[in-house]
Amino acid sequence: MTLRLTRKVQQGIVVNPKGQKDKPLVIRVLDLVPNTVGLGFDGDHYEIARSEIYKGGIDTNEKYD
Protein backbone atom coordinates (compact mmCIF):
# COMPACT_ATOMS: atom_id res chain seq x y z
CA MET A 1 0.00 0.00 0.00
CA THR A 2 1.26 3.46 -0.88
CA LEU A 3 1.08 6.34 1.56
CA ARG A 4 0.16 9.48 -0.36
CA LEU A 5 1.04 12.87 1.12
CA THR A 6 0.47 16.36 -0.19
CA ARG A 7 3.34 18.83 0.27
CA LYS A 8 4.06 22.35 -0.94
CA VAL A 9 7.42 23.74 -2.03
CA GLN A 10 9.92 23.69 0.87
CA GLN A 11 7.72 21.34 2.91
CA GLY A 12 9.04 17.90 3.65
CA ILE A 13 8.65 14.64 5.48
CA VAL A 14 10.97 12.76 7.83
CA VAL A 15 11.56 9.02 7.49
CA ASN A 16 13.21 6.94 10.23
CA PRO A 17 14.03 3.25 10.32
CA LYS A 18 11.73 1.65 12.91
CA GLY A 19 13.18 2.16 16.37
CA GLN A 20 16.03 4.37 15.13
CA LYS A 21 14.94 7.98 15.59
CA ASP A 22 18.60 9.05 15.45
CA LYS A 23 18.88 8.23 11.70
CA PRO A 24 16.37 10.54 10.00
CA LEU A 25 16.02 10.99 6.26
CA VAL A 26 14.39 14.32 5.36
CA ILE A 27 12.71 14.45 1.95
CA ARG A 28 11.81 17.97 0.85
CA VAL A 29 10.00 19.40 -2.19
CA LEU A 30 12.49 21.86 -3.69
CA ASP A 31 10.64 23.08 -6.75
CA LEU A 32 7.73 22.42 -9.08
CA VAL A 33 7.79 22.91 -12.82
CA PRO A 34 5.35 21.53 -15.40
CA ASN A 35 5.41 17.70 -15.23
CA THR A 36 8.39 17.64 -12.82
CA VAL A 37 8.94 17.77 -9.07
CA GLY A 38 12.39 18.54 -7.65
CA LEU A 39 13.09 16.60 -4.43
CA GLY A 40 15.93 17.00 -1.94
CA PHE A 41 17.15 14.21 0.34
CA ASP A 42 19.07 14.96 3.53
CA GLY A 43 20.31 12.17 5.79
CA ASP A 44 23.29 9.98 6.52
CA HIS A 45 23.19 6.17 6.44
CA TYR A 46 21.10 6.00 3.25
CA GLU A 47 21.77 5.09 -0.36
CA ILE A 48 19.22 6.60 -2.72
CA ALA A 49 18.43 5.39 -6.23
CA ARG A 50 15.72 6.30 -8.72
CA SER A 51 13.10 3.56 -8.90
CA GLU A 52 13.41 3.20 -12.68
CA ILE A 53 17.03 2.05 -12.30
CA TYR A 54 16.73 0.24 -8.95
CA LYS A 55 16.94 -3.56 -9.27
CA GLY A 56 16.31 -4.43 -5.63
CA GLY A 57 13.01 -6.28 -5.94
CA ILE A 58 10.54 -3.41 -6.23
CA ASP A 59 8.21 -3.47 -9.23
CA THR A 60 9.44 -0.35 -10.99
CA ASN A 61 6.66 -0.49 -13.58
CA GLU A 62 3.90 0.02 -11.02
CA LYS A 63 1.92 3.22 -11.51
CA TYR A 64 0.82 5.23 -8.49
CA ASP A 65 -2.31 7.36 -8.60
Output the pTM of the full model: 0.72
What number of other Cβ atoms are within 10 A of residue 15's Cβ? 13
pLDDT (tens digit per residue) in 25-64: 999 999 999 999 999 999 998 888 888 887 765 555 555 5
Q: What's the 3-state SS for 2-62?
A: CCCCCCCCCCEEEECCCCCCCCCEEEEEEEEECCEEEEEEECCCCCCCCCCCCCCCCCCCC
Q: Which amino acid is at 15?
A: V
Task: Give the integer Cα–Cα distance in Å for 7 and 37.
Answer: 11
User: What integer pLDDT is reported at residue 50 of this predicted model?
Assistant: 84
Q: What is the DSSP secondary structure assignment for residue 64, as one 8-state letter?
A: -
